[in-house]
Amino acid sequence: MGLSPGPREMAKLGLTPGSEEYYEAYAAVSRFFALKFEGLIEWWQVANELDIWIFRDNLDMDQSVEFLKVGIRAMKEAVPSLKVGINITLFPSLPGEVDGNTDAHEGLILAKGIYGDPSLPVDYAGFDSYPGSWRKGGPESWHEYLDGFYALTGKPIFIQEFGYASAGGNMTPADIDAGAYPCDVKRWKFNWRGEHSEAVQAEYIKESMKIFIEKPFVIGATYYNWRDAANCWQCQEPDCPAETAWGLLNQQGLPKPSFYALESCARAIELT
């Protein structure tokens, strides 16, 4: 799966976001990637989670929808055989059940803008979610997410990101009342089975994969991520569980229980 540049990368060109020149430049960039990797990368994700403010940079929601349409059309025009789509994380709208500085309805706006346009040559619906970490729930939440997203889009679904953080305690009621963010207190608002640990992370993967496999419209899933990070990319601190404990490997590169859990799921699929 290839990932094309998003608004944050386009900002380096110094063009006015949302302008005709801006979109023309993005079309050129998209065509370049499609042609450069033709024969090497068949599946493409255009940008990343533009329903999240930090990834859409200075674009508003309408501009973000247009940005994605420009990228999809340019890649498909350059190489028609490519499989092109986008990824969304804020679906369904669950007020109070999503952690972070964002609005829960933005994923629905993006999905309707892309999948509600019958002229757009989009091949799949990409979906990301972290129930139990970044939002309320656990593996069982995937039933509602996937069934609802498929009903909304009518496209085969590729789960671009799923995972569970293996470190970090639970926020106190005072933390939650204060609207604390995981980076601020080094704890999670949400959890599955009461904790964030390596053992629970492994079980989370097993339970999630069972659900993915039973959905005939799910065509693939990518676990996030490969290796624990030394520092949180959001706050840059080494002791922050928000972005340092998602890996299948620890920081030293040694397999965690989650590695073996995902391996066993993959081998089971091979045997079916």
Name the nearest CA neighbour of 135 among 160, 101, 106, 99.
99
The model's pLDDT over 84-114, given as tens digits with 9 standing for 90+, comes to 999 999 887 665 566 654 556 788 899 999 9
| Domain range annotation of the chain | 1-122, 154-272
DSSP track, 194-262 = TB--HHHHHHHHHHHHHHHHH-TTEEEEEES-SB--SS-TTT--TT-TTTTS--SB-TTSPBPHHHHHH
- The per-residue pLDDT for 101 is 47
The DSSP letter of residue 155 is S
Using pLDDT thresholds of 50, 70 and 90, give the confidence band for residue 77: very high
- The per-residue pLDDT for 90 is 84
What percentage of the chain reaches a pLDDT higher than 90? 89
Evaluate the omega torsion of the peptide bond into residue 80 and state whether it is cis, within 30 degrees of 0. no
Q: Which residue has the higher pLDDT, 123 or 98?
A: 123
pTM of the model: 0.91
Evaluate the omega torsion of the peptide bond into residue 225 and state whether it is cis, within 30 degrees of 0. yes
Using pLDDT thresholds of 50, 70 and 90, give the confidence band for residue 173: very high
Q: Which residue has the higher pLDDT, 104 or 216?
A: 216
Which H or E run contains 99?
none
* CATH number of the domain located at residue range(s) 154-272 in this protein: 3.20.20.80
Q: What is the rounded average pLDDT for all residues in the chain?
A: 94
- The per-residue pLDDT for 270 is 77
- 198 vs 78, 143, 242, 261, 272, CA distance in Å? 44, 24, 15, 11, 28
Is residue 130 scored above 80 in pLDDT?
yes
